Amino acid sequence: MRKILIVDDSIESSQLLKRILMKRGYPNIILSHSAEDAFNILHANDSISDIDLVLLDIVMPGMDGIEACIKIKQDVKLRDIPIIMVTGMDKSSVLEQAFRAGAMDYIKKPYDILELHARVRNALNLKREMDKRKARELELLEVTEELKALNTVLEQLSNIDGLTGVANRRSFDTYLQSEWDRACRTGDHLSIILFDIDKFKLYNDTYGHQEGDDCLKRIAQICKTAIKRSNDLVARYGGEEFAVVLPNTELQGALNIAEIIRIEIENQKIPHESSPVENYVTISAGVATACPKKGNITLEQLVNIADQGLYFCKRNGRNQVRSIQPN
């Protein structure tokens, strides 16, 4: 039910207007005899006002209609309510002021009933369309928010290794590239660790793939717990191979972290009875460091150096950390 507020200091004028409109099928009409009182009515709800149209007399004691119109249009909660100025004045300058204040239309006193009805109907139709549009916009906003949230979840899922819950290879590549670019700008060091579970094929052969998966999960968690900084990244590099990106870390720091991870895993004493290394799970880790800004090494070379370190460990008895770079 459309609600109309009539603001007019003259009781006779407002009563007359009310009766005319009621007869024309607008039963929900509120009368107010001053602009100040009108604002109390308009602000009766904490949220958006439920008034659909304001018929505002121009000449009133206290705050006049023009000033009230400006104030309504400046109020975020009220500004979408259409205002029709009601005036007994003929001066075009007054009407100009009213339109400049934000009024959408005007009605002259004495009222021409047909004209009055047409103008009120137009204003209410406009308000109805605005309400519909706002509802659609709100709906659209909600759907957009939902989509955004879903996209975030999807993005997170697409960056996470499904088995171990740490970053996947794709995420590792992206993160390593972005940290490389950052280090190019800042001149910081960037280190990586590549490590492999020693003789993991034998682990799977001995305990089965289910146990193998559980072992990978445990290793990922141990590694995740071992790194302390929020911008260090643990990723599953592939199969039983993991990688750690360590921004702003020099070689010795990276070797220390790799050693901590190795020891943590060793301390878990996860049984690996068929391993020729130890009777529990161990890892071999290769470490590499670069200062990209110096430009004497490429990103691919950095990964390759870590990989060579890892293979050095494998050739050298496993369960150890190595870098082939001079410390």
Partner 1 sequence: MSTFSIIVDKDLEDLIPSFLSNRTKDIITMKEALETRNFEQIRIIGHSMKGFGSGYGFDYVSDAGKILEVAAKESNAVVIQETILKLEDYFANIKISFE
Count the residues of the shown chain that bind partner 1, applying the rule CB under 8 A: 16
Instruction: Identify whether 110 is preceded by a cis peptide bond (ω within 30 of 0).
Output: yes
Phi, psi for 7 (deg, rounded to 5) = -115, 110
107 binds partner 1 (CB under 8 A): no
Q: How far is the CB of 13 from partner 1 (least distance, A)?
A: 4
Question: With contact defined as beta carbons under 8 Å apart, do 93 and 61 qualify?
Answer: no
* Token representation of residue 142: 């909600």
Which residue in 284, 296, 292 sits closest to 322, CA to CA?
Answer: 284
Phi, psi for 78 (deg, rounded to 5) = -115, -15
Q: How far is the CB of 67 from partner 1 (least distance, A)?
A: 17
Q: How far is the CB of 94 from partner 1 (least distance, A)?
A: 12
25 binds partner 1 (CB under 8 A): no
Per the DSSP assignment, residues forming a β-bridge with 288 are 192
2 binds partner 1 (CB under 8 A): no
Nearer to partner 1, 110 or 162 (CB): 110
The DSSP symbol for 280 reads B
From the list 11, 44, 48, 140, which residue makes contact with partner 1 (rule: CB under 8 A)? 11
Q: How far is the CB of 118 from partner 1 (least distance, A)?
A: 17
3-state secondary structure of 29: strand
From the list 35, 48, 59, 269, which residue makes contact with partner 1 (rule: CB under 8 A)? 59
Distances (CA, A) of 140 to 77, 133, 146, 288: 20, 10, 10, 49
As separate numbers, helices (DSSP H) first and strands (DSSP E) second, the chain gives 10, 10
From the list 27, 62, 88, 208, which residue makes contact with partner 1 (rule: CB under 8 A)? 88
Indicate if 240 belongs to the active site. yes
Annotated catalytic residue, options 142, 145, 240, 273: 240
20 binds partner 1 (CB under 8 A): yes
272 binds partner 1 (CB under 8 A): no
23 binds partner 1 (CB under 8 A): yes
15 binds partner 1 (CB under 8 A): yes
According to DSSP, the β-strands at 283-290 and 241-247 are unpaired
Distance CA 108, CA 289 (A): 83
Catalytically annotated residues: 240
Residue ranges in contact with partner 1 by CB under 8 A: 10-13, 15-16, 19-20, 22-23, 59, 61, 88, 109-111
